[in-house]
């Protein structure tokens, strides 16, 4: 992943930033949710709405969560 790509997202959540390539947005959203679940992190309403909107355009794919150790 290019450094410029990482700098563009900085510390933003999905309510303010999504990958510029639409083909990567589903995986990004699923990974974001898996990380939130894995680490028992909270989610704010704007973030939840953005993720729901993104996932509404994705194929019905289960989200895999790796348990924390």
Q: Which two tokens stand for residue 63?
A: 């989200």
How does residue 65 score in pLDDT terms, banded at 50, 70 and 90?
A: confident
Domains of the chain: which residue ranges?
Answer: 14-55
Q: Say what the pLDDT of residue 59 is.
A: 86
pLDDT in tens, 1-60: 566 655 666 779 999 999 999 999 999 999 999 999 999 999 999 999 999 999 999 988
Q: Say what the pLDDT of residue 5 is.
A: 56
CA angle 32, 65, 33 (to 5 degrees): 20
Q: Say what the pLDDT of residue 52 is.
A: 95
Check: CB of residue 65 under 8 Å from CB of residue 38.
yes
């Amino acid at each position: 992943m290019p450094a410029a790509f990482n700098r563009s997202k900085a510390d933003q959540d999905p309510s303010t930033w999504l990958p510029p390539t639409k083909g990567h947005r589903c995986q990004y959203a699923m990974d974001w949710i898996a990380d939130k679940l894995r680490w028992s992190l909270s989610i704010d309403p704007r973030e939840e709405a953005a993720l729901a909107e993104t996932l509404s355009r994705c194929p019905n794919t289960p989200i895999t969560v790796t348990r924390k150790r």
